[in-house]
Amino acid sequence: MPFPDWTPHRRDDGELLGWIHPDGDDWVAVDVLGRKASDPVDWLDAEAALEARGIAWLADPWMLEGEAERPLRVRIVEVTPDEVGTPGRIVVKVDDFGDMTRPATAQFTLPWPVPPRLRPPRADDPDPREIG
């Protein structure tokens, strides 16, 4: 758990969706990447925000900036949140488009919570299948 006052929130199958932590008289939901999933709200609304967000988006492609001339299309391999006294990490790999015959692609280890240089794709991102 990243902080002692953060309460884990899990799906019915036990999978971690994120945490809920106090904010004055209200509560804030935080997803597994450490991003705010709600504004300060009541407890049930914080739970609902995490349930609505889910974790399926972890399997989506992401873009990593700052490692090459143009953003790299990557997939999240591992998310390990901070623990008290131990920094977390996010590991991504260059997207291989599911090609199991290719050699392993480059991996990058980033700090947790998610840094701004790891972001969802935008419409203006280069097509990763095109050779620059």
Q: How many CB atoms lie within 10 A of CB 20?
A: 24
Contact 95, 105 (CB under 8 A): yes
pLDDT of amino acid 88: 94
pLDDT of amino acid 132: 56
Quick: pLDDT tens for 71-125.
999 999 999 998 877 899 999 999 988 777 778 889 999 999 999 999 999 999 8
pLDDT of amino acid 127: 76
Report the share of the chain in percent with pLDDT over 90.
Answer: 76
Quick: pLDDT tens for 50-73.
999 999 999 999 999 999 889 999
> 107-123 as b/e, with b when 16 or more CB fall inside 10 Å?
ebebebbbeeebeeeee
59 DSSP 8-state letter: G
Contacts of residue 39, Cβ cutoff 8 Å, sequence gap at least 6: 28
